[in-house]
A and B are shown apart, each in its own frame.
Chain A
Amino acid sequence: MKFFSAFRKKSPWVLHYNAGSCNGCDIEILAALGPKFDLERFGVINTGNPKQSDIFLVTGPVTYRSRERLVELYSQIPEPKVVVAVGSCTTTGGVFRGMYNVEDGIDRYIPVDVYVPGCAASPQLIIDALVKGLDVLEAKSKEIEHPFKLFGTIEMIGNKLSRLNMAKKVEQHEKN
């Protein structure tokens, strides 16, 4: 409904996930949430729970071990949702690009709405990106958004839509 979508902008709740970051960007995100930069004035709450989140803040270049969780968390966020890739690693792979154990950015796996450059991304930039993400969020529909890779199935079981297998488990042979 139009009336309610106006409030998406006013209460963006955040899920923060570290996909193998060096913790630099994570520290900056926490700084942005803390008293000095006070993200809470936008209504932001760091929920830590995908099911109640609107904005997915991801840091890190997506290591092999973390991709499965990344996609699973993404598929557990109810639509409408926005993904913000925080930091150079997350957008392109950064200094880790091309290494055997990283995936060169999260947009190979899930659709990204806002990219934040910087190593580490500064709190000001993160706030800007969040505000940018709010516009995207307001415009989005409630249709289910799919990950690109490790995408399992969405089934209808007895009139019920099951997202249980939306993210696929990485098979053993794929790892090696």
Chain B
Amino acid sequence: MIWVWIAFAPILGGLAYGGERVLRARMQRRQGPPLLQPFYDMFKLLDKRTLIVHSPHALLAVAHFFILWFSIVAIFMGWNLLYIIFLHLFAQILLILAGYSVRSVYSHIGANRELLMLIAYEPILLLVAVGFYLESGSFEISEILQKGGYLTSMPLLFAALAMVIPIKVKKSPFDVGEAHQEIVGGVEIEYSGIFYEFLYMSRFLEYIFIYSFVFLFGGVSSWVGTVLVAGTFLAVNLVDNATARVKTADMLKIIYSIAMMLCIVNIAGIL
């Protein structure tokens, strides 16, 4: 059963992405694309001629996708939270190296921002993991899910996590990494056809990745977890529609001054 979930993780993420586009459209009082739009895009990308700059650049996107998928596997299998975060880091670094490996200004700026986003959210994710460890006595997801009541003991960590979700799913106010009208997609820029498809699908996986952290706060009751995920999903999209993009440096300042402080206060409270 679990392997079915793992195999269909990109599809699940794709549905989340499609649903999000519909939701966002409805928030702006328009019809929006169909729910299955991400899959239409995927099939279309398969049908395009593919332009690449050089082969390492193209292959790094493939590697990025599969390693991201592997970190999702680790989540579903209930492995160590630290491993999961660092597998994700590995995947992200490959993407950044890909962005740097071409002689393209937008790609470089995108990779720079991707790097800064990485150092903004990664400490928060790790601190959330430490929080789970202090509460449940283990970094293993399977053991974290045996207990409950995380939301009452670490509400500030949850708030900090909610602050970094927009970075990960590239939503306003922290969508600097993609910033389509500004840097034309950042690291994605030199990809086309089948290789862009891999990046497009890894965006679906990012949804699964970050929202499964939210799900963990539900603990033993998967019902609470689902409600939390749905609520956060709505809130993130509402914020996305209601705010403008902040500058990269401001993003770092906001995360390090507010989210980090929330984490520290909460962890100090647990101790």
Hey, which bits of chain A sit against chain B, CB under 8 A?
1, 3-8, 10-11, 13, 35-36, 38, 40-43, 46-49, 51-52, 54, 76, 78-80, 142, 144, 163
Contact = CB atoms under 8 A, between A and B. Distances in A.
Given A4-B43, A11-B40, A79-B49, A48 B180 contact: yes
B48 A79 contact: yes
B41 to A, nearest CB: 4
A139 B49 CA distance: 15
> Number of contact residues on B: which range applies?
20 to 34
Contact of B192 (A4, A10, A51): A51
Contacts of B190: 51
Given A10-B40, A38-B30, A49 B185 contact: yes
Contacts of A79: 48-49
A95 B140 CA distance: 70
17 contacts: A4-B46, A6-B43, A7-B44, A8-B44, A36-B30, A40-B25, A41-B30, A43-B34, A43-B37, A48-B180, A49-B184, A51-B51, A51-B190, A51-B192, A79-B49, A142-B47, A163-B51
A40 B51 contact: no
Contacts of B33: 40-43
A36 B34 CA distance: 17
Contacts of A78: 48-51, 192-193
Contacts of A49: 184-185, 188-189
Nearest to A163: B51
Contacts of B49: 78-80, 142, 144
B123 interface: no
A99 to B, nearest CB: 31
B47 A7 contact: yes
Which of B25, B41, B50, B193 counts the most A-chain CB atoms under 10 A from its CB?
B41
B217 interface: no
A38 B46 contact: no
B257 interface: no
A47 B180 contact: yes
Interface string B164-201: 00000000000000001100110011111100100000
B28 interface: yes
B29 interface: yes
Interface in B28-76: 28-34, 37, 40-41, 43-44, 46-51
A7 B37 CA distance: 10
B260 to A, nearest CB: 34
Interface in B128-174: none
Contacts of A11: 37, 40-41, 44
B75 to A, nearest CB: 29
A6 B44 CA distance: 8
A52 B194 CA distance: 10
A4 B44 contact: yes
B102 to A, nearest CB: 11
Contacts of A76: 51
B24 to A, nearest CB: 9
Contacts of B43: 3-4, 6-7
Contacts of A5: 47
A142 B47 CA distance: 8
A78 B45 CA distance: 10
Nearest to B185: A49
The 3 closest A-B pairs by CB, nearest first: A51-B192, A4-B47, A7-B43
Contacts of B48: 54, 78-80, 142
A42 to B, nearest CB: 8
Nearest to B21: A40
Contacts of B34: 10, 43
Interface in B204-224: none
Given A48-B185, A51-B189, A78-B49, 5 more contacts: A11-B37, A40-B21, A41-B30, A41-B32, A78-B192
A128 to B, nearest CB: 17
Nearest to B28: A35
